Structure 1
Amino acid sequence: RNLLSALRNPHTDTSECPELPVMKELKSKAFWRAVLAELVGMTLFIFLSITAAVGNPNKANPDQEVKVALAFGLSIATLAQSLGHISGAHLNPAVTLGLLASCQISLLRAVMYIVAQMFGAALASGIVYGVTKGDALGLNT
């Protein structure tokens, strides 16, 4: 059974979802390493993706769809390969929620991954905002 079936019938035994005790997981070096990997991975992914989508405003060539698609695909593939052995390389809150629903990660790990992913995305957006000119951001023409 998974978490969804346990939510439908609250009187069932949910011991099938393996969970470390919260304090033991919080004190684990591997746990914090995985959370940091999610933060760094999401920061790099969003930074690379947004900078590829913004492009060069001085360039007259509007056909940048292939460049943007390659930037997204290659960056997520590279990050998944690099971070997969550390944190599972979720790099997406929807993936994290899916793994939580199927009882493959603990609730604490899911919450911390999602917080790290959101903070990483906000950090990357701030970095892009800081390094690009004001007229480069906004509506694409």
Structure 2
Amino acid sequence: MMKAELIRIANGAIDIKVVTDKTMHILQWRRHMFRDEVLLDGKRQQVSRGLMWGRETIYGLVFGRDEDGEGGSKLIFTIDSRHDWNSLDLDEYSRPRGVRLEDADNALLVFGTLDPKEMEKPSTFMEALKKNLGMQW
């Protein structure tokens, strides 16, 4: 059984705690000037180079391999790193808008724009108004 919890999402950084059986791992994503990198327990797993808009946003990872490189759990790590052009706060502007971590069976972590609930179309005009204005009635 694997569980994931979002620890921090900030300007150019995402930290996720992943618990497998009785082992805890830290999955990190970092955005640098010309590259993005994914780290697992402080060790680089994936790197995506290029300009801001041409970098990879879907990463494949394996947790729990043995010393021979066999076994483990395969995960897909997806990031919506597009800028929020509507935000006036600079920290919110450059913060990733969505995160999704899933294994073969189910989604372990869903946040922001990659949450299926965000993709649902409002059924009435009032629902659309509430969603766009951020109203909670």
Query: What TM-score results when the alignment is normalised by the length of structure 1?
Result: 0.25
- Name the structure with the higher strand share: 2
Which structure's relative contact order is higher, taking Cα pairs within 8 Å and 6+ residues apart?
1
- Name the structure with the higher helix share: 1
